Amino acid sequence: MDTPSISWSPRTVEDIFKDYSGRRNGVIRALTYDVDKFYSLCDPAKENLCLFGYPDGTWKVALPAEEVPPELPEPSLGINFARDGMDKKHWMSLVAAHTDSWLLYVAFYYGARVDSNGRKRLFSLINDLPTVCETVTAWKPIKDRACMHSGSKSITGTKRSSNGQSKSNLKPHTHIAEEDEDEQGETLCGTCGGNDSVSQFWIGCDVCEQWFHGKCVKITPAMAEDIKQYKCLPCRAKSSR
């Protein structure tokens, strides 16, 4: 299993938080959008399995590292064993809670190299984000993605047609949320996990169909007008391999 090497480990607060955010995005994806795949991989008949999140926003269910001690703190062992013995939602919440602990463990493993003020700032940055457990508990699967707007567009009022030209959408996002919430479930930002900024600009990935706050992926409405196909960072990483 590939694990980061200490030789290139993040050393500044900003780099540690970036590492934390990427790993968090990966495990959130595993426990929400990729939950069916994640569930099938956690076969109780297999050995002790762990859920790993990686800095590039990807995830993996795998055996723990063989070296002792490992280069990085390991996630909780044996998350697969309780899968069939618990209610699915409760099991997912349990995995999410253990994953939150692991993410903090890794962040403060790196954070041991910064001073006390740096650690306080690191914790403040982390604490501003919803926990994985909170995000997973609040997440509802989208029953019919075809009902949602697709392509590189904003939820707040710009819809892009298949030929790349934008056209006006007269419904503001607040109305869409009120009318379609029961059918579609909540839309969570793939970066911060938030769903409460309904007045903000959002953009959807044309590959995985995940949604992001424009500010989280540093894309403005004006920039989106010139994007014919938007690929989020995890999808760009996959396509480059």
Sketch out the chain's domains with CATH numbers. 6-138 (no CATH), 145-239 (3.30.40.10)
pLDDT at 178 over 80: no
Structure tokens at 155: 């939820």
What distance in Å separates the CA atoms of residue 180 and residue 197, rounded to the nearest whole number? 16
pLDDT at 204 over 50: yes
Kindly report the average pLDDT of the chain as a whole number: 77
Residue type, position 154, single letter: S
Instruction: Read off φ and ψ for residue 154, nearest 5 degrees.
Output: -105, 150
What distance in Å separates the CA atoms of residue 59 and residue 28, rounded to the nearest whole number? 9
**Predicted structure pTM score:** 0.60
pLDDT at 135 over 60: yes
How big is the chain, counted in residues?
Answer: 241
What distance in Å separates the CA atoms of residue 199 and residue 178, rounded to the nearest whole number? 13
